[in-house]
Structure 1
Amino acid sequence: MLYRKMIWTLRIINSIKSGVCRASTWADFSKVSDDYDKFRIPVGRDFIAGMSQLYTGKRLQDLHILDIGCGTGQYAKEMLDLGVGRISLIDASPDMLNAAKYKLANEIEQGRVQCLETIKAPPLPFNSDCFDVILLTAVLPHLDCAGDKTYQNAVKMLEEANRVLTKNGTIVITTSFFSTFSRYWFCKVCPELCQRLCEYFPSASDFEIMFTRANLKCVQKFTVIGAGFMSYEGMVNSEGYVDQAWINSACCFDLATEEELTAIQDKVHTLYQNGKWKEWLAENDSTNELGIATFFVCQRKDNEGQAQ
């Protein structure tokens, strides 16, 4: 057991020494890894498990999943807890991956975690046709620069995912759109921030073009209703301000200006002091009621009888 622990530690250290690039073109995950899980909700885990079994034709215990941009391993942990047999994780942030390593310590010991590597992708350092399911959870919007509507890096990632996917394998992609971002309460305070965020997020039609370029076909599209990515429990601290840990966990505030952050804090503090914060939040945030996360389930176009 000690030998295995040493191997895992060495693999992570060597990856860090190799000089990994930033995990996102706009978010700095190195500064939020300690807070990332405090308010994050792994939305749609049952949906992912169900779609994975339906389209691969395999039981959970027989699946090998690749979690690209795994972050702190939230979704990987959920999948393993549901009974997935094996999972491999990669992320460009060594800080986030270290958090995943400790979260999955037991599963690593059991041999259910096949790979835990700090890797900047694309490309993917795996042989072709080796994964049953590939997860891209809020990953693609981080790969290209604002205004680049060709989404070249995102397409390359999808092409690589297609390459390492087994014949009847499934790719599950999670994203958000302008119409869903606008459901967040802070977008009511700073609509410019919402617009700035959406410059990085492909539209539904953009995704369809990207899928075609990567020789993929979308077989399911679904927005999870009744759950958002972020928990609001404990979001406002005892002084009446948005807790810094919540801001870090949300990540999107990396795109906010100092003036916007001040405006958000001032708005929340004033409402809190007047005893109206919870009422205002209920009236101005619909992420839980209407959903924020949209899932695309894709397969290879050449899968006859699968992608119908």
Structure 2
Amino acid sequence: MNKEQRKLIQRAKDFAKPFRVDDGESFRLKDIDPNNTLHLEQEHKPQAKEALALGVELLAAFQDMLYAQDRWAMLLAFQAMDAAGKDGTIKHVMSGVNPQGCQVSSFKAPSSVDLDHDFLWRCNLALPERGRIGIFNRSYYEETLVVRVHPELLHQQTLPEPLMGKDIWKERFRDIRHYEQYLSNNGVVVRKFFLHLSKKEQKKRFLERLETPEKNWKFSANDIKERAYWDDYMNAYEDMIRNTATKVAPWYVVPADNKWFTRIVVAAAIIETLDSLDLKYPVITEEARQHLEAAKQQLLNEDKA
């Protein structure tokens, strides 16, 4: 990395650190302002876009080394309320990444096949291979959010009745912590993002979708239904983060009322993480170098034949 890239990495750390939670014991959702921009005002938006573009370039360079080294994998899980900007964030932040080295999986309502397996099953099938970045647009955490807010969904999972007691959420949190530790032990770096949107901003974005014909397709009647459970979801999110934020799989609670700032923080967190892996291109052995030289000479000699 050159001097300018090192400066960019340091800036990334400064943006990511305030929103990282790796010990949930003292975490409170109310302590994170959805409108926070770390004192950057709206007039700084052009500079923010430029910083994001540079971050995307740096991210692409890291991803190329990740792919070439073929040792680590990275799993990025995104959770949020409707209209918080998950899709747009993934699109913009990962825009410079080679598609060969990145895979996105979106998890909607589970199918009958999914429900006949354990709650981690379908996500486990979509884990990234070594050298690749896997993105979960929603994830196994839905099983501690939607299912918790709507307990009737739990009964659709055909679990044995004795296993659906009052401790089921505590047990699922424990299982998730162990699962993420297992992934970490096997070279899968887990980073989780909660895009923290305010109820006021969600209303504004819903109205924009309703009033703009080109955005009507984004709106669903179910969005309004789920909005009625806002407080229940906020309590569920807080409990989820408090119980599953660890050093090996931290949460980033990212202010989401300003999309431009959300994207900078997410990019910064990914850059910071990739930098911590000390990625390098594979070193060519002397024997391999000799084979390369022989191949080069063979190609050059074709012109002499």
Does TM, normalized by the shorter one, top 0.5? no
Q: Which has the higher strand share?
A: 1
Q: Which has the higher helix share?
A: 2
Q: TM-score, normalised by structure 2?
A: 0.34
Higher RCO structure, 1 or 2 (CA under 8 Å, sep 6+): 2
